[in-house]
């Protein structure tokens, strides 16, 4: 087993000016000689490019002036706050340099994913060396002024963050929260047969759950249809303050792990630049040869699951930085994780070592008089869009093709009268999605954590199967090497692969049980923030929206327990910038169709759609659904009584969500029958954002329109799908806010039947009627008898479920009365 | 490679009454003969116990009467809604039976973790067979009446859920959301040297991210100090509708994967009960022998990292259920996942097959006249607390020992005057936690995702190291085979291991960057719901609280980007039952100490504490901190002006969180100096729950006390740590709600300096002063000049950071003025 600790020890003895006893010393940087595929000139040139990238990285972390060290380094040249992470950067730059060599040799279309945290200086430096930075940001020119600006902006107020971000040319991967690099890489490779993704995975990141599972993603890559991912595990052995687990297991165990994940790992280890260059060049060549072979065979019809190549790159953390600082070993240890010389501004000795460190890269050989990279370095860059920093795949919006969407109206259900029929809403949607899938055979994917059929979208499987490259068992059904559905029992994998697919310009959908979508709260946050931040980057084009379809929702947890109940994803979503989030709660199949058509046409949003999979009443015809969804919220005149559209109903029954709508209409029906002169208005809300003030959300209703729906002063009983508080939050600034009484999900649930569930949450029809009686003053006495009846009816219904295990027939068989108004 | 598909095919031919062409047929259940460690009598008895458990499982899913089939099965005996999952149950019951055999033979103290989803019928059945169910639930007696009640309650309104839950005897693991079984198992084993945990992991669950990473948890198990986990991968090959990934890779790849994870896997595969019994018995014997050997060696001083045993159990999904239903293969396929005969109530043929299926287990041999299990079965149960359903470890609250807590007052910092000194709050806490750790050497653990030192708790490392059983590199520091800190770069692992540790009655703490705690939102939800539901189970004892310490919080994201900013975990937490959640925002080191002392003494709560790690002013002495934290919210008289404690200040400046407190006091200082006659009251809130009405939370302030702090009608400017909306939500029902103006985190962030960050969010001192001027009518004209000064000061401060990369000195060096009142 190659142990870098001892290699680092040798380095210390060989390379520090003052020997093992040095308390602080720069590394002497020498390119030795080693046998391998690179000839001397190639080796020298490649190493020079790497040195340049490393120099530019160190410069970003420390310097705010004097970028080329053309004067002695002074305290004033150094940033007052040193914020950046050097440890992982040399490895990133090394892989970039070698990937570029392969791109030139093979004319590859390739992108780079930088998994390790806060590695921003590396890809920034590579993009500047490739010229892309200057093409996209005029003030970051390719000269000494531009270099100074480039250094100064890094991790500086008003500048760029220390990790890869939307501002980073060539990145479609946010480098903030760790764990998703491989997923983004594999998502990008899907349906991109000519793409190669060089994906560097940090050994810290490799400890996360999502990353540990995502090695399996290769099992969804069809080498005939998809591009390739070359994972490179950057095994620099340390995290912030600890060694990594994968660095401290025997090498045969490490190899076994990756063989078990389905890869053929090659280990490149060392701390001598020449040796590592040669070994890495050989490993990259071998891996790309193998990928080409796999793709050729598959495209010739071979359907055996391939064993993909993978590289383990074991080099010292903070490689090339000062080996020892203040008596502590730094290079090759966790102390190189962030800023190896933290006192370079204030401490003369530190500053002197920083200067020697920077000069050890020999900037005078790398940059010309103007400060631009030398022609020799330029010659190593791939040309135009072959540069990984300029590949349009990483600016996916630039490549996006609109979906071909069949006319959703033709997939709607017949609705002879409101509530006359009943359908499973998501199954209705599934018919349309089937044809969306068929019409967009290389541009649209559906992801599900083993819940596609459970969520009633199985009609999609009429035109495709589930993507599956592993073995097929005798009784397996519906598996398909070219499947347009990806099912894996990991919400993280579904979300991450879809993100990678969207960020590179394609379209898709993630269907999930509502309760389990919290698993990806943090991933949603990061993606939403990417959308928000990238909207402010002028050269980024809008990408297709991230579309959720949440079903098996909180109100129909028929055979699941308390832990499966949580509608709070909506709360998480609404904490993000209003401009980029949308929440829809269509009450039936036709409104779900209209909603989803809108979502699949949208760009650069997160659309959260919650819809039922259980049979439920059809309320609106296709045309009514189109109009209702266009409005986003509206009065259902046919459901109210008397002059319910006028300015002063006695009460407003509002609802959002399919089950709340059902209970609201059942309550309205009771009121119509029992209190026929009560003016009851029924308002249904599909687009939750309509509730927000116009100033706070682009979909927000103007106050006047809001008041037209909800009145300024009448009691409003609002039956809501989620936690009730959200409605208060959205309507907080509305005139009638104090008149609003919200019923929604309470943390009370247990195993139960459907109506028992709504009773448990006081959202049942009987409770809603009681609410009306309690809130309309003139009813208190007049309807006291009805109120008691409602209480009795609830007890009866509750007792029935306890005895019979199903809902009382008068509820289970209830349907909207056909009343001509 | 053993392929169950073909084994299943054989079964179909051998065991269906009507041959391969049957459209529906029961399985004939025969116990054959096979060589192995079990003699004939032992094999027969073990198999009978398994049959009994399977019978009781099928009974739970289908029957609401006629539990022993003493009359012909009629439609009315069958539940109207069939809700349960049979597929995984035979495997769970099989492992339970074999574990019990080993427990008897070796006198083990063991618990069982059922990872597969909705496997509830299995552990329920085993607990009933062991008698525990009847001991804990009087009406579920050990006779036919009790059996009927036991069957009827399953997945029935008012009954128990279909997965393992707090109601399940012997379970400390919620079976709802998948992915955490191994973590709970390993967490239970920590510091439990005599415990063996049989942990069944479903192959569906194994696809999740948390589970994929958690195989590495064995690397934190010290065989000298800790108990053992025996993982059993239940490879029944199918999820809801798909094969599993691990079932469709070659067997050598599967073995390599587990060798790579650090285990020595043994594969037990088959579909013949006798053969599987023999193979599993041998595998369990071998594994437990190996565990005993590892533990003996370690306890004798051997420090080599062991290779732990692991069993892969490859048996048919829904094993022993009808092989074919309506012409479709069911046993051994995904169709056996849930209810194999979904129409048993309505369809005579299905019902007849159900009856034959139930009778195939030969209940008449298993249960006596009374309905109790036969003495032969009883003899197989371990005795008393050795029964896995009765092991007190699974009811951790029964075993909990109070922590020995050093007097926190002695760890406080000297505060000669408010704001005179400055400390890193979490470092102050770290000194106390060091001694908590030392005083509770087998009862308290700290978990961190490589952020312990970053969050300034490194003083703990003075008395212990980081738990580490893998190899140690030359430059690794602070690793310790008996370490009381567990660091792994996975929030899932930290949370899950801690949950397992707490649920089995020990104490701990999870420290995490605030931004990344969203990664475990879903785990938090499930744990909170476990606490809530278990509080209603009479025999469950309260367990120690789950304590979070969130630092590197949103206001001091100095070198991180936009994606690292999210204070929304508080919103997720506050969606749970108020009784079980607490949120604390101590403003300095002494208040943090007081808060954490309270948290570590509490039981059965989730305590979320957010505190800064950067140097910040010390506001309160130890005694003041004790009093302030006891109140939870209070007026800081010394910070206000004039008669600020009286009933009518001109304005209230409220704050919660360390940075908001700092800015609020800076604003108060400006107002004192510039508008000395303005009556400004400063209120600090440590315990966020105090804001809720008394009726909604046990910590809620009575309205009268709330009004005493916040007035009923004066403007309140509230500077808050999180998203501002949360304060509105908490104070929604308070008299002065409309007077409340909240400033908090907005989704605007970018890389910046500390004061730039608060300016970006309009939470800076200048903005707060402006707010006061805008909201106190008499100031509008009088203080117009001051207002303009504030606006100018902001611009100046902003421009300074852009130029210098650090905060303007008048802010960076600001301290609270020493004013004698």
Q: How confident is the model at residue A3 (pLDDT cuts 50, 70, 90)?
A: very low
Q: Which of A5, A79, A492 sits opposite B805 (nearest CB)?
A: A79
Q: How many beta-carbon pairs under 8 angstroms link A with B? A: 396
d(CA A672, nearest CA chain B) in Å: 31
Average pLDDT over residues B415-428: 96
Q: How far apart are CA A819 and CA B410, in angstroms?
A: 76
Cβ–Cβ below 8 Å for B566 and A559: no
CB A548 within 8 Å of CB A608: yes
Distance from CA of B691 to the nearest CA of A (A): 15
* Dist CA B629 CA B595 (whole Å): 7
In a domain, B403, yes or no: no
> Cβ contact (<8 Å) for B563 and A176?
yes
CB contact under 8 A, B471 and A525: no
Q: Which of B474, B491, B752 sits opposite A5 (nearest CB)?
A: B474
Q: Which range marks the domain in which residue B172 is found?
A: 4-28+45-383
Q: Are the Cβ atoms of B450 and A240 closer than 8 angstroms?
A: yes
ipTM over 0.85: yes
CA B664 to chain A, closest CA, distance in angstroms equals: 23
Alpha carbon distances (Å) from A419 to A408, A618, A621, A626, A759: 21, 5, 10, 17, 21
* Element housing A702 (H / E): none
CA of A582, closest CA in chain B: separation in Å?
16
Q: How confident is the model at residue B175 (pLDDT cuts 50, 70, 90)?
A: confident
Same domain flag for A101 and A53:
yes
- Angstrom CA distances, A473 to A100, A470, B7, stand at 42, 10, 12
How does the average pLDDT of chain B come out, rounded?
Answer: 94
Contact B241 A453 (CB under 8 A): yes
Burial class (CB in 10 A: 0-12, 13-18, 19+), B142: buried
For A386-424, how does the pLDDT look when each residue is reduced to its tens digit (9 = 90+)? 999 999 999 999 999 999 999 999 999 999 999 999 999
Domain boundary among A363, A390, A417: A390
Mean pLDDT of B214-226: 98
* Confidence band, pLDDT 50/70/90 cuts, at residue A327: very high
| Terminal Cα-to-Cα distance of chain A (whole angstroms) | 84
The CATH number of the domain holding residue A536 is 3.40.50.970
Closest CB from B207, B333, B576 relative to A213: B207
Task: Measure B77 CA to nearest chain A CA, in Å.
Answer: 11
CB–CB contact B470 A245 (8 Å):
yes
- Check CB contact under 8 Å for B568 and A564: no
Q: Are A724 and A716 in contact (CB under 8 A)?
A: no
User: Are residues B595 and B658 both part of a single domain?
Assistant: no
Task: Name the strand (E) or helix (H) holding A211.
Answer: helix A209-214
Cβ-defined contact of A561 to B210 (cutoff 8 Å): no
Indicate if A545 and A598 belong to the same structural domain: yes
Indicate yes or no: CB of B240 within 8 angstroms of CB of A471. Answer: no
Q: A379 and A413: one domain?
A: no
Q: Which of A64, A577, A747 sits opposite B747 (nearest CB)?
A: A577
Distance CA A717, CA A11 (A): 74
Q: Do B609 and B595 contact (CB within 8 A), yes or no?
A: yes
A31 found inside a domain:
no
**B260-282 residue pLDDT tens:** 999 999 999 999 999 999 999 99
For residues B123 and B244, state if they share a domain. Answer: yes
The predicted structure's pLDDT at residue A69:
97
Residues 6+ apart with CB under 8 A from A320: A27, A29, A54, A90, A331, A357, A360, A361
Residue of A nearest to B567 (CA): A575
Residue A798 token pair? 């509750």
Q: What is the CA radius of gyration of chain A?
A: 31
Q: A315: which 2 tokens?
A: 């080099």
A11 has a pLDDT exceeding 50: no
Cα–Cα nearest to A457, from A496, A417, A427: A427
Mean pLDDT of A426-435: 98
Q: What is the mean pLDDT of chain A?
A: 94
Whether the pLDDT of residue B647 is over 80: the answer is no
Q: Does residue A10 fall inside a structural domain? A: no
Contact yes or no for A112/A99 (Cβ under 8 A): yes
Q: Which of A179, A490, A519 sits opposite B207 (nearest CB)?
A: A490
Q: How far apart are CA B176 and CA B208, in angstroms?
A: 14
Q: Please tell me the distance from the alpha carbon of residue B474 to that of residue B497, in angstroms, as a whole number.
A: 28
- Asked if the Cβ–Cβ distance from B214 to A210 is below 8 Å, we say no
C-alpha to C-alpha distance for A698 and B745, rounded to whole angstroms: 21
Nearest CB to B209: which of A244, A490, A801? A490
Are residues A162 and B204, on separate chains, in Cβ contact within 8 Å?
no
- Model pLDDT, residue B501: 98
**Residue of B65, B88, B161, B812 to mutate, interface with A, max A Cβ within 10 Å:** B161
Residues of B in contact with A211 (CB under 8 A): 209, 213
- Per-residue CA distances from A582 to A494, B481, B665, B749 (Å): 20, 50, 38, 21
Tell me the CA distances in angstroms from B485 to A147, A249, A372, B444, B510, one per residue in order: 44, 20, 49, 9, 10
Per-residue pLDDT, averaged over B105-121, amounts to 95
pLDDT digits (tens, 9 = 90+) for A534-593: 999 999 999 999 999 999 999 987 766 777 789 999 999 999 999 999 999 999 999 999
Task: Residue B261: list chain A partners with CB under 8 A.
Answer: 257, 260
Tens-place pLDDT, residues A231-270 = 999 999 999 999 999 999 999 999 999 999 999 999 999 9
Q: What's the confidence (pLDDT) of residue A820?
A: 47
Same domain, B375 and B430: no
Q: Does residue A471 have a pLDDT over 90? A: yes
B757 to chain A: nearest residue by CA? A157
Residue B671 half-sphere exposure toward CB, CA atoms < 13 A: 32
Q: Per the domain annotation, does A244 fall within a domain?
A: yes
- Residue listed under structure tokens 């008691």: A788
Within a domain: B37? no
Q: Report yes or no: A81 and A116 within 8 Å, Cβ to Cβ.
A: no
In this prediction, residue A154 carries a pLDDT of 95
Please check the confidence at residue A354 and state whether its pLDDT lies above 60: yes
Indicate whether A241 and A371 sit together in one domain.
Answer: yes
Residue B531 corresponds to which tokens in the numbers above? Answer: 């606490």
Mean pLDDT along residues A723-733 = 95
Overall number of domains in chain B: 3
pLDDT at A118: 87
Do B389 and B133 meet the contact criterion of CB atoms below 8 Å apart? yes
Position A334 in a domain: no
For A366-371, what is the mean pLDDT? Answer: 97
* Non-local CB neighbours of B31 within 8 Å, separated by 6+ positions: B43, B44, B47, B273, B274
- pTM higher than 0.80: yes
| Contact between chains at A162 and B561 (C-beta distance less than 8 A) | yes
For residue B216, the chain A residue with the least C-alpha distance is: A245
Q: Are residues A117 and A263 in the same domain?
A: yes
Q: Are residues A269 and A122 in the same domain?
A: yes
Which pLDDT tens digit goes with each residue over B523-577? 999 999 999 999 999 999 999 999 999 999 999 877 667 777 899 999 999 999 9
Indicate which CATH number applies to the domain containing A719: 3.40.50.920
Of the candidates A445, A436, A495, which has an alpha carbon nearest to the alpha carbon of residue A465? A445
Q: Summarize the confidence of residues A77-98 as an average pLDDT.
A: 95
Nearest-neighbour CA in chain A from B643: distance (Å): 33
Residue B40 confidence (pLDDT):
95
Do residues A733 and A784 both lie within one domain? yes
Q: Looking up tokens 């370079």, which residue turns up?
A: A344
B55 and B151 together in one domain: yes
**pLDDT mean over A439-466:** 97
CA distance A129 to A378: 8
**The pLDDT of residue A23 is above 90:** no
Nearest to A80 among B84, B560, B806 (CB): B806
Quick one: pLDDT at residue B20?
46
- For residue B249, give the nearest of A177, A243, A470 by CB distance: A470
**pLDDT the model gives residue A214:** 98
| CA distance to partner chain B, nearest, from residue A242 (Å) | 7
Q: CB–CB of A415/A579 below 8 Å?
A: no
To test the contact with chain A by mutation, choose from B87, B209, B536 the residue with the greatest count of A C-beta atoms within 10 A, namely B209
The answer to whether residues A414 and A386 belong to one domain is no
Q: Which strands make up the sheet holding A308-314, listed edge to edge? A: A109-114, A195-202, A228-234, A308-314, A263-269
Residue A648, burial from CB neighbour count under 10 angstroms (0-12, 13-18, 19+): exposed
Task: Please report which confidence band the pLDDT of residue A6 belongs to, taking 50, 70 and 90 as the band edges.
Answer: very low
Is residue A745 predicted with pLDDT exceeding 50?
A: yes
Quickly state the pLDDT bin for A28 (edges 50, 70, 90).
confident
pLDDT at site B556: 87
Average pLDDT over residues A516-521: 97
Q: Is the CB of B516 less than 8 angstroms away from the CB of A177? A: yes
Q: Which region among A257-266, B611-620, B644-653 has the lowest average model confidence (pLDDT)?
A: B644-653
Mutation for testing the B interface, residue in A152, A260, A614, A811 having most B CBs under 10 Å? A260
* Mode of pairing for the β-strands spanning A109-114 and A195-202: parallel
pLDDT over threshold 80, residue A366? yes
Higher pLDDT, B155 or A645: B155
Select the residue of B8, B179, B260 nearest A257 (Cβ to Cβ). Answer: B260
In chain A, what's the furthest Cα-to-Cα distance?
A: 99
User: Who among B207, B565, B725 is closest to A489 (CB)?
Assistant: B207
Chain A residues whose CB is inside 8 A of the B329 CB are 475
Task: List chain A residues with CB under 8 Å of B3.
Answer: 473-474
| Per-residue pLDDT at A715 exceeds 60 | yes
Last residue of a domain, one of B383, B416, B434: B383
The reply to whether A83 falls in a domain is yes
In a domain, A102, yes or no: yes
pLDDT at B118: 87
Q: Which of A337, A360, A390 corresponds to the end of one domain?
A: A390
């Amino acid at each position: 087993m190659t142990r870098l600790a001892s290699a680092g020890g040798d380095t210390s003895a060989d390379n520090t000016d003052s020997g093992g006893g040095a308390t602080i010393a720069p590394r002497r940087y020498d390119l030795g000689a080693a046998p391998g595929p690179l000839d001397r000139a190639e080796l020298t040139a490649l190493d020079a490019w790497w040195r340049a990238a490393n120099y530019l990285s160190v410069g970003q972390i420390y310097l705010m002036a004097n970028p080329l060290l053309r004067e002695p380094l002074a305290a004033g040249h150094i940033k007052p706050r040193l914020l950046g992470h050097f440890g992982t950067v040399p490895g990133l730059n090394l892989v970039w340099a070698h990937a570029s060599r392969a791109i030139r040799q093979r004319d590859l279309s390739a992108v780079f994913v930088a998994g390790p945290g806060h590695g921003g200086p590396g890809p920034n430096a590579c993009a500047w060396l490739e010229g892309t930075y200057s093409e996209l940001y005029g003030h970051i020119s390719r000269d000494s002024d531009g270099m100074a600006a480039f250094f100064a902006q890094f991790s500086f107020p008003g500048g760029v963050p220390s990790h890869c971000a939307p501002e980073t040319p060539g990145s479609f991967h946010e480098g903030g929260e760790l764990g998703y690099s491989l997923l983004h890489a594999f998502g990008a490779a899907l349906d991109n047969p000519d793409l190669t993704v060089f994906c560097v995975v940090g050994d810290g990141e490799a400890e996360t759950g999502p990353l540990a599972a995502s090695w399996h993603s290769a099992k969804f890559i069809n080498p005939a249809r998809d591009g390739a991912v070359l994972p490179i595990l950057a095994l620099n052995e340390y995290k912030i303050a600890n060694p990594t687990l994968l660095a401290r297991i025997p090498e045969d165990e490490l190899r076994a792990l990756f063989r078990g994940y389905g890869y053929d790992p090659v280990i490149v280890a060392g701390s001598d630049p020449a040796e590592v260059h040669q070994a890495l060049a050989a490993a990259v060549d071998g891996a790309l040869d193998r990928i080409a072979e796999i793709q050729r065979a598959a495209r010739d019809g071979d359907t055996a699951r391939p064993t993909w190549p993978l590289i383990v790159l074991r080099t010292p953390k903070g490689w090339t930085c000062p080996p020892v600082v203040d008596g502590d070993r730094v290079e090759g240890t966790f102390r190189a994780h962030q800023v190896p010389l933290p006192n370079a501004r204030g401490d003369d000795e530190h500053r002197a070592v920083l200067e020697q460190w920077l000069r050890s890269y020999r900037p005078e050989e790398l940059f010309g008089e103007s400060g631009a990279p030398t022609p020799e370095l330029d010659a190593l860059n791939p040309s135009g869009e072959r540069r990984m920093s300029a590949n349009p795949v990483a600016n996916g919006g630039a490549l996006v093709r609109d979906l071909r969407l069949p006319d959703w109206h033709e997939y709607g259900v017949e609705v002879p009268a409101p509530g006359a029929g009943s359908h499973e809403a998501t199954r209705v949607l599934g018919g349309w999605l089937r044809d969306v899938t068929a019409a967009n055979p290389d541009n649209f994917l559906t992801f599900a954590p083993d819940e596609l059929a459970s969520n009633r979208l199985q009609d999609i499987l009429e035109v495709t199967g589930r993507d599956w490259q592993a073995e097929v068992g005798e009784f397996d059904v519906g598996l398909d090497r070219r499947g347009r559905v990806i099912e894996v029992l990991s919400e993280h994998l579904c979300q991450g692969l879809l993100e990678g697919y969207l960020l590179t310009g394609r379209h898709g959908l993630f269907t999930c049980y509502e309760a389990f979508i919290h698993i990806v709260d943090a991933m949603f946050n990061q993606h939403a923030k990417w959308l928000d931040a990238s909207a402010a980057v002028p050269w980024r084009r809008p990408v297709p929206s991230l579309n959720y379809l949440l079903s098996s929702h909180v109100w129909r947890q028929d055979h699941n327990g308390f832990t499966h109940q949580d509608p709070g994803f909506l709360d998480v979503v609404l904490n993000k910038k209003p401009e980029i989030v949308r929440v829809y709660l269509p009450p039936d199949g036709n409104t779900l169709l209209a909603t989803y058509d809108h979502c699949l046409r949208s760009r650069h949003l997160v659309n959260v759609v919650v819809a039922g999979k259980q049979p439920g009443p059809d309320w609106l015809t296709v045309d009514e659904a189109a109009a209702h969804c266009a409005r986003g919220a509206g009065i259902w005149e046919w459901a109210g009584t008397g002059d319910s559209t006028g300015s002063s109903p006695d009460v407003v029954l509002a609802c959002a969500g399919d089950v709340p709508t059902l209970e609201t209409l059942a309550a309205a029906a009771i009121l119509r029958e029992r209190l026929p002169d009560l003016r009851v208005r029924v308002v249904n809300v599909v687009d939750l954002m309509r509730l927000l003030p116009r100033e706070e959300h682009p979909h927000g209703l103007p106050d006047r329109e809001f008041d037209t729906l909800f009145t300024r002063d009448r009691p409003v009983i609002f039956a809501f799908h989620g936690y009730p508080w959200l409605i208060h939050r959205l309507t907080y600034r509305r005139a009638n806010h104090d008149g609003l009484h919200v019923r929604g999900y309470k943390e009370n649930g247990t195993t139960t039947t459907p109506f028992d569930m709504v009773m448990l949450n006081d959202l049942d029809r009987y409770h809603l009627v009681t609410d009306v009686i309690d809130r309309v003053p003139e009813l208190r006495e007049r309807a006291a008898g009805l109120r008691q009846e409602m209480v009795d009816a609830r007890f009866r219904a509750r007792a029935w479920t306890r005895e019979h295990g199903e809902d009382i027939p008068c509820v289970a068989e209830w349907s909207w009365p056909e009343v001509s108004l």
